């Protein structure tokens, strides 16, 4: 059986973990797995070509972490040619375009670090820096994490699918808040650092830093260090080994851990079950995808919140 896995970019540890998870499962099930990807997190044309090429060489199934609805037509054509398509990490829009989706809930991931932050502040005023992913495009993972975080803090949202339209100040679950800045990092260390520097020049009293992913969080920590700000709580999302080390050292207060390897492996298992036994995968009850789970990783537990320690986080990191 021939299966192609198409990720968003070829080299990010997150996607490498997903590919490795899929490779392991493929070996066990005697599946021939080919790897393709876009050039970066937004390259739709590269993904379209990968879908077309997999279809052209007669693959049985495609697993894709799609870069947006521009790939939908290519997916439909592949399906018309008899290819079984499932989504990994990012649901397609609409989600029922593909036969199954294995993903973690990004909004939920944002929510748990938001709840942790609110609990940790214990009623003190929150001056918040929001370090998002992109300023030049709208990507679901970006607003789901950001808006999930704010919702977790207990801040009233306006449009839950839009960054930056909430009230700049008001009440969160336990006290007053003010949003000092809303900056894009492109999900990279240098972008995170530049964004945080800008935030600190806007407001040196920032004590809460939400970052959309770990590389931008590492950059933000550098900027905080350089500015002598030791009080800010930095929270982030991903759960890579490098990221969890940040929790171990105390640079990050909390990290929401995701399991890309599990997504890749579950995807291969679903393909095998369908292709060999005709068993269709079912989504989780009440969701349009199968949740591969997240865990709150922190060494500063907050009452009423389930979390794992950084040591436990290190055991499952990628």
Partner 1 sequence: MSTVTRSSDLTAAEAFKRRPLSPLQRVQRVLHRHPEISPLVVLVIAAIAFQFTNDRFLLPSNLSLILQQVSIIGALAAGQTLVILTAGIDLSVGALMIFVSMVMGFLAGLAGVPGPWAFAIGIGVGAAAGLINGVLVAQVKLPPFITTLGMLSVFTALALLMTNGQSVNGEKLGDFLTWTSTSFPVGPFQLTVGVALVIAMYLALGFALSQTAWGKHVYAVGSDPQAARLSGVSTKRVLLSVYVVAGVLVALSAWVLIGRNNAATTSAAVDVNLDSITAVVIGGTSLFGGRGRLLGTFLGAVTVGFFRNGLSLARVDVLYQTLAIGLLIIAAVALDQWIRRTGATR
Q: Which residues bind partner 1 (CB under 8 A)?
A: 10-11, 32, 34-40, 42-46, 48-50, 52-54, 56-58, 67-70, 72-73, 134-138
Min separation Cβ 283 and partner 1, Å: 24
Which tokens sit at 32? 């021939």
Closer residue to partner 1 in complex, CB, 135/173 = 135
Print burial letters for 193-208: b (CB count within 10 Å at least 16), e (below 16): bbbbbebbeeeeebbb
Min separation Cβ 291 and partner 1, Å: 27
Closer residue to partner 1 in complex, CB, 49/288 = 49
Which tokens sit at 115? 């709840």
CA angle 254, 126, 173 (to 5 degrees): 80
Min separation Cβ 2 and partner 1, Å: 8
Min separation Cβ 97 and partner 1, Å: 12
Closer residue to partner 1 in complex, CB, 16/221 = 16
If we measure between CA atoms, which residue out of 177, 179, 215 comes closest to residue 199? 179
Min separation Cβ 165 and partner 1, Å: 12
Closer residue to partner 1 in complex, CB, 32/176 = 32
Closer residue to partner 1 in complex, CB, 92/257 = 92
What is the per-residue DSSP string for 10-67?
A: SS-HHHHHHHHHHHHHHHHTT-EEEEEE-SSTT-HHHHHHHHHHHHHTT-SEEEE---
Kindly report whether the peptide bond that precedes residue 94 is cis, defined as omega within 30 degrees of 0.
Answer: yes
């Amino acid at each position: 059986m021939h299966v192609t896995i198409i990720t968003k970019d070829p080299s990010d540890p997150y996607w490498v973990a997903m590919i490795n998870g899929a490779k392991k499962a493929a070996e066990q099930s005697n599946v021939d797995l080919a790897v393709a990807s876009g050039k970066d997190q937004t390259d739709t044309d590269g993904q379209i070509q990968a879908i077309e090429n997999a279809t052209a060489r007669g693959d049985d199934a495609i697993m894709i972490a799609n870069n947006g609805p521009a790939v939908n037509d290519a997916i439909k054509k592949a399906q018309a040619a008899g290819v079984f398509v499932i989504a990994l990490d990012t649901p397609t829009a609409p989600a029922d375009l593909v036969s199954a989706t294995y993903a973690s809930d990004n909004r939920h991931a944002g929510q748990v670090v938001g709840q942790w932050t609110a609990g940790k502040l214990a009623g003190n005023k929150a001056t918040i820096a929001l370090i998002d992913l992109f300023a030049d495009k709208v990507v679901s993972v970006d607003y789901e994490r950001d808006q999930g975080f704010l919702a977790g803090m207990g801040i009233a949202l306006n449009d839950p699918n839009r960054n930056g339209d909430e009230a700049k100040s008001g009440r969160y679950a336990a006290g007053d808040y003010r949003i000092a800045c809303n900056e894009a990092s492109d999900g990279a260390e240098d972008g995170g650092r530049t964004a945080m520097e800008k935030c600190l020049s806007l407001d040196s009293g920032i004590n809460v830093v939400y970052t959309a992913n770990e590389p931008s969080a590492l950059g933000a920590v550098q900027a905080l260090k350089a500015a002598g700000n030791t009080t800010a709580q930095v929270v982030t999302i991903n759960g890579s080994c490098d990221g969890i080390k940040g929790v171990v050292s105390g640079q990050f207060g909390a990290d929401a851990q995701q399991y890309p390897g599990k997504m890749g492996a579950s995807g291969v298992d679903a393909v095998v079950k369908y292709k060999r036994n005709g068993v269709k995968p079912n989504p989780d009850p009440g969701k349009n995808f199968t949740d591969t789970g997240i865990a709150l990783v922190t060494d500063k537990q907050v009452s009423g919140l389930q979390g794992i320690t950084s040591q436990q986080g290190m055991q499952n990191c990628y």
